[in-house]
Amino acid sequence: MSLLYRLTYQFLPTATRLAWSRSLIERGYCKDIAAARRNNNHAEVMSLESGCRFELELQDEDAHLTKQLLRKARALRVPIPHSRNEDGTISNQWYEGSQTGGRYLTVSGIKALREEIRCESKAHHESRAQLVVWLSALTGVIGAITGLIALMAQKHG
């Protein structure tokens, strides 16, 4: 690995680290696959392509995205979809990773959870907006009272 990669890896966001790692895996396998194709060694090409797919699936971005969405949902206290149906089968909002066995959100699960997070975030923003209106009104009332007191003090003083 390059010196730049080793020095900056720990400071990069997870999504960038995943993308960088995936490109390094692909670049490493591309050289070997190209050499095997030049030698017309189809078995080795198949083996290398399979190995590349395996390693790329281990670097799956679904795990990172699922983790991010679950963290946001928990922070906002949004209900998380159940991973199993009542009959014990995996729900259509989750799938089990083929390499790691971990459970990750499907596209429909991601969409549903994002909609719930957006609705809850919108509700938080609307409540804050109402607070700003009340604070503005209170500031106006305080300013008016201060003006009246200054006017009365000027008349009597």
pLDDT digits (tens, 9 = 90+) for 92-103: 888 777 666 778
Q: What is the pLDDT of residue 58?
A: 67
The domain in which residue 20 lies consists of 1-59
- Is 90 in a helix, a strand, or coil? strand
pLDDT score, position 1:
57
Same-domain check for residues 32 and 78: no
Domains identified in the chain, total number: 2
106/148 same-domain check: yes
> Angle, nearest 10°, between helix axes 107-156 and 61-76?
40
Q: Which of 29, 110, 26, 22 is nearest to 62 (CA)?
A: 110
**Cβ neighbours, 10 Å, residue 94:** 17
Which segments of the chain does DSSP mark as H helices, in order?
3-8, 14-38, 42-58, 61-76, 107-156
91 and 54 in one domain?
no
95 and 34 in a common domain: no
Q: Can you give the pLDDT at residue 75?
A: 93
Judge if 128 and 153 occupy the same domain.
yes
Tell which of 44, 59, 74 closes a domain.
59
Q: Report CA dihedral (144, 148, 150, 151) to the nearest 10 degrees.
A: 130
Give pLDDT, residue 53: 82
Last residue of one domain, picked from the residues 13, 43, 59: 59
CA distance 85 to 94: 10
* Beta carbons within 10 angstroms of residue 3's beta carbon: 7
Q: Which of residues 9, 36, 59 is at a domain's end?
A: 59
Q: Give me the pLDDT at residue 61, please.
A: 61
C-beta of residue 71 within 8 angstroms of C-beta of residue 116: no
pLDDT at 60: 65
Residues of the chain with pLDDT under 70: 1, 5, 9, 58-61, 98-100, 157
Whether residue 30 is found in the same domain as residue 81: no
